[in-house]
Chains A and B, each alone.
Chain A
């Protein structure tokens, strides 16, 4: 069951390219081709414009909230090749940092899990991926993976902070030894996994299945199982679910979720990691869930935000 509980009229003057809620689901950040980033307070179905952030000189593609332990911060990336980190202090939003290290449109950004510190990853059409790490004194240390995806990286998504092979939290008090990983997708049709080793970022895996630009990738939140799951979607209309049970993270297999008739722009996991929202070029959003047999079934088509969740059987699904 999908029911609209709030309609936010953004007053953007051009296409909206991203809309993200904060950690608590009470504030909304939007960005648009009109070059602005807007922050709304949407508590209890309301909509109060908190900030209208100007600073980009091109369409703003994505916004992302940092974890609240670092304060109220939103990062935005734009066609103007810039990444801007905005921060609220004393109720006022301001530009806190501007990164201009990319040579082309910055298409995607993703904050690392807060356990790793304040790290922002950006993927650009120049093919590179940047990692900006806040070093505590207002400085940001930049690491760059050049030529990560030829002619452009379209999406980046961090792996959840889980310890390899551990289901339970590390006993408190000791610094857990997390492995930092993220996934990226690009115009080379590839999905790539990156891993930090000795402070250096290295290509860990190259996942090939798509036959056209990978439009988005999303690493599923950890649901306590040792399996890693990634969703990727592409210009070719396909959405793949990649899984890896291997603790070393080497044996990835993929399963086709569905082949859509149009480009698939965006995939997003629910917080609990069991539902995938797929947004396609036909302006359709559908929700998918894995059934007990391991098959992915569409449980809802969301049109204009409305939809009924149903248990579509496999047979019906195949007909679609």
Chain B
């Protein structure tokens, strides 16, 4: 296709390959007078601007020359220092002159463009060539067999390649070998080509056939094969190109015959040695594959002889041809469409007539109809043979799961031996640390040893904050987490109790003895029964205790009033706390407390808040902290959220505080999230904490990250299941399928759905967004089937498809994909939901729900699959799963009487029996939206529900807070254990309802053996945590009652206590042992047991050697006093230590030690 045109009769030279942009130099040809018969000459430079779609070439510079040219070449010689930024133009003139030009100066429009000129040759210089290896060497040829080699660095005296060949002839061509730099060939019109070796300084070979009719007009070396050359003949009687191999120089290797008249020029493509251009007097431009002799292309061109043809060195698809019709044409070999070009041409011609009304007749020109000639097809075909430069030899493409698909092909010349043609699939892993940590987390999840995991994190924590976080998280897995939270915050309940208790008694004793003048008045008031007056007096006199005591006697109203007045009056900091304790107005405290005291606030919440409000209050505190400007406080909000068990907010807060989405940061977060979720699950006995958007986002980010490292299985396990986020469902499906058959028994992906039917015009709805239409159509297909008597689960709908075997094939082919994507797109397609939309088809809910395990599809993998057809009474598994995303139910199948409708809001809770088998009616009650929200299947690794009732949900109604350690007034204490008993019946009252949900998974086992595997595999590990759910969370008093937790696993991993301090452990443990023996009542025993356990924290500190020398010294003193049974002294030392040390440093063990010492003293052991 013609790209550009220059209206000049000129010889041409492309700028060298390294030159950008591409220029074309055109010098007035000496051979032909132009139409004006002008004898002026010029050297002009044009820029090839392909972004400009017109045929015009932009002229960049013109130099009016005194010479006309026979030959023009442009080489890359020179550099910036020489001012030769665009190389050197070398021109061969008419009178034996060679002229050097600086093209960059021509472009710049400067005058002194001539670098040098030497008139050494005889006659016109028709032959010039740059040496491809040394750009400073130029060979030239002229009459009298003159061949010179010029060094542009020393452009004065040329050398000759050897003695002139005889008889003297005109040299028409010179050409440097493309492979061997000292080999030069020359040719003359009489038909001989001579090969020179410059090292030998003589011709080494003369190439000529015996016909003697070759009139050499063109000579070109093979770009790749050093010994081959092409010689073209200008003789009309022999218009051929001969291919010679110098190793067999007796006859041409090949003769390219197609031109009908003499050939004027040839050009061999350097970019593809299989392309050789030739132009001849038959007005044709042909492109040959010189290696085969085939004409691969004929340019649809010239009406005139072309006398010069050149490949563009930089753009391999571009060539230029100079013709005697007075123009140089630039062509592309890649074909194209010239319609537009013609139209543009027509337009530009029209426009020069102005307003399409050239003659002012008032009539516009009629629109030009371009004649559609067959002779000139508008589409210009490309080369028959794809040129080498478009054949991509190498590629590397990423695929899902961190896979890299690569292929490479040998260089063409070696291609024969190249095969086999292989494609390599590689796994790319860039985040090794992430993977190892992920594996660690995974194995923790499997083993359930979260305590050790947290401890490890605590030990390895880089920052206090991090250590704290993990400490908090760890506590979640221990008994009595709230108590331990307190310890972590640096509060010791016993300590506090001990501190507080004496105060109380003091207060009481005080009341009896104080007398003042007011006494009389009070006495009066009391005697008159005027409690209110008495209280007022007391208050007025600042006798608070009296006032309160009197108020108690005066009844509830008065008490309340008095409390209020008291608090109004009193301003000390502690009052607020007492106020809150008494009035239980924790929201107020949390709302208004000074955030610098967040620790205290959190401690108070941990101690007093009722479980039902605890989380909310922690949340509130967290939110306040988070909104604070102080970034350190913001971070602490995380701790509040951990206490609250609010994963969602923890994630959000963490995200804000830590920022960054680097893989390891994400790993940090996910570790915490996984642990916390597990903890909540254990604590609350259920995993009803759905996955919020923020967390879902993070989880899917993480899953993506893992997937990108090829860790598909792990990635799958992190994806939240109960999400309606399309993106996550897609990822889930993708991960699942990406694992091929490996995962089939392990994981069920959500199988939402429909896919868009794309067919060969078989059906369909018009419109750009054909999705809804298609879906509808599909849905109908689907619905027919279910509406049969035995409604099959959604997953089996595909049986209705034209599937030869009636079963789905192992390939994850059309059918499963179909189901996937209808679900995926449901959010966009409200009509999928029959409720509200009023769709007539009852069975539609299947579509949005539709998460049957994929393992149930391929019947080849599923021995029991056929049972579907024989077991119609079973409800669709797809529906079974949503209610509680929990695995196997521990409830016997007989409980399954309860129907599915329980799950549906508004469905009669009491309905029983297999409601579903009744078919469409049953399912129509199924609220599609609801089930969607709950999400589809349970993942093998998702927190299981087991039989744990969502106790927390049930409890709040009658739950009373535990006795606060400071024993606030008016607290009707309830024994937590009694409470538990109360709750249990209540919980079990709910059981039948719950059972209906739980039953389904087990029912699914019938359908789907694969699903059962992960369930049974996982279940045992989850039994242990179940116990912990028996305890009401957060009751501080409960702690004492608890048996010592088996800490053995933890101990094993611990470092030894430094030898010098080992005595502390033996002494303390010995003391406790002695006390145990001496103690009579079980309560004391339990206390001791607990103390023993608690001292572990002391030993830990010893192991870590984090205690200050003062404390260590003190402890040793205590130990010595224990040795001597002098417990009183021990207590004194204890007091001394406590008063002189950092409380938080010792708070974990000193109070315990005191308890032990006191007991020992009492027991006298």
Please give the residue numbers on chain A whose beta carbons come within 8 Å of chain B beta carbons, in ascending order. 1-26, 28, 30, 32-33, 41-44, 50, 58-59, 61, 66, 68-73, 79, 81, 87-91, 96-97, 103-105, 107, 117-118, 125-128, 133-139, 146-147, 149-152, 168-169, 172-175, 187-190, 206, 211-213, 215, 224, 236, 265-266, 268-272, 275, 277-281, 283-285, 287, 289, 299-300, 302, 304-306, 309
Contacts and interface: CB of A to CB of B under 8 A. Distances in A.
A6 B53 CA distance: 47
A187 B828 contact: no
Contact of A96 (B397, B426, B760, B773): B760
A127 B402 CA distance: 34
Contact of B425 (A42, A97, A211, A281): A42
A8 B423 contact: yes
Contacts of B817: 68-69, 71-72
Contact of A305 (B401, B424, B802): B424
Given A1-B430, A212-B314, A268-B395, 13 more contacts: A2-B428, A3-B426, A16-B407, A21-B397, A103-B337, A107-B390, A127-B336, A134-B758, A136-B770, A224-B661, A270-B402, A302-B404, A305-B406
B725 interface: yes
A275 B428 contact: yes
17 contacts: A1-B432, A18-B395, A19-B405, A19-B407, A25-B403, A30-B407, A68-B755, A107-B390, A150-B3, A151-B1, A173-B830, A211-B21, A269-B398, A270-B428, A277-B398, A279-B395, A305-B424
B734 interface: yes
B762 interface: yes
A32 B421 CA distance: 9
B758 A87 contact: yes
A304 B804 CA distance: 42
A304 B334 contact: no
Interface in B367-413: 379-382, 386, 390-410
A275 B398 contact: yes
A302 B758 contact: no
A71 B757 contact: yes
Given A25-B401, A275-B428, A152 B741 contact: no
Nearest to B774: A136
B424 A6 contact: yes
Select the residue from B21, B401, B758, B817 with max chain A CB neighbours within 10 A. B758
B911 to A, nearest CB: 31
A149 B50 CA distance: 8
Interface stretch (B436-444, B588-596, B805-813): B805-813
Contacts of A206: 51
Nearest to B379: A103
Contacts of B427: 1-3, 5
B400 A21 contact: yes
B909 interface: no
A184 to B, nearest CB: 13
B758 A309 contact: no
B821 interface: yes
Interface of B: 1, 3, 20-21, 50-53, 314-315, 317-318, 332, 334-337, 340, 379-382, 386, 390-410, 415, 419-430, 432, 661, 693, 697, 701, 704-705, 707-708, 724-727, 734, 737-738, 740-742, 755-771, 773-774, 802-804, 809, 811-814, 817, 820-821, 824-828, 830
A16 B410 CA distance: 10
Given A6-B425, A68-B820, A103-B336, A265 B395 contact: yes
Contact of B397 (A137, A139, A268): A268
A75 B390 CA distance: 19
B400 A25 contact: yes
Contact of A146 (B337, B763, B827): B337
B51 A190 contact: yes
A16 B394 CA distance: 8
Contacts of A32: 421
A127 B429 CA distance: 39
Contact of B740 (A44, A146, A270): A44
Nearest to A5: B427
Contacts of A21: 397, 399-400, 403, 405, 425
A307 B543 CA distance: 84
A156 to B, nearest CB: 15
Contact of B391 (A3, A17, A135): A17
A287 B53 CA distance: 37
Contacts of A150: 3, 50-53
B379 A172 contact: no
A4 B336 contact: no
Nearest to A50: B811
A169 B726 contact: yes
B335 to A, nearest CB: 4
B786 to A, nearest CB: 22
Nearest to A264: B394
B1080 to A, nearest CB: 65
Contact of A283 (B381, B390, B394, B828): B394
Given A24-B812, A135-B768, A7 B424 contact: yes
A137 B336 contact: no
A17 B334 CA distance: 18
A302 B766 contact: no
Which 6 A-B pairs have CB atoms at the shortest separation, nearest pair first?
Answer: A138-B761, A172-B827, A136-B770, A21-B399, A43-B740, A104-B335
A138 B761 CA distance: 3
A224 to B, nearest CB: 8
A15 B409 CA distance: 6
- Residue among A88, A146, A305 with the most chain B CB within 10 A? A305
From B423, B765, B804, residue with most partner A Cβ within 10 Å: B423
Contacts of A26: 737-738, 740, 812
Nearest to A268: B397
B335 A105 contact: yes
A90 B400 contact: no
A136 B764 CA distance: 5
A8 B335 contact: no
A285 B697 CA distance: 33
A289 B402 CA distance: 14
Given A21-B400, A26-B740, A137-B765, A103 B392 contact: no
Contacts of A146: 337, 340
B394 A302 contact: no
Contacts of A89: 814
Contact of B317 (A16, A71, A187, A189): A187
A44 B742 contact: yes
Most buried by B among A41, A125, A138, A287: A125
A105 B394 contact: no
Contact of B20 (A70, A212, A224, A289): A212
Contacts of A265: 392-395
A285 B394 contact: yes
B399 A104 contact: no
Contacts of B317: 125, 151-152, 187
A84 B827 CA distance: 33
Contacts of B756: 69-71, 118
Given A70-B755, A136-B774, A28 B334 contact: no
B423 A19 contact: yes
A312 to B, nearest CB: 13
A90 B804 contact: yes
A211 B811 CA distance: 47
Given A3-B427, A73-B758, A117-B768, A17 B392 contact: yes
B105 to A, nearest CB: 22
A306 B734 CA distance: 26
A136 B773 contact: yes
A11 B403 contact: no
Contacts of A23: 400, 734
B778 to A, nearest CB: 12
B334 A105 contact: yes
Given A1-B432, A137-B765, A187-B317, A103 B803 contact: no
Contacts of B50: 149-151, 187-189
Contacts of A169: 725-727
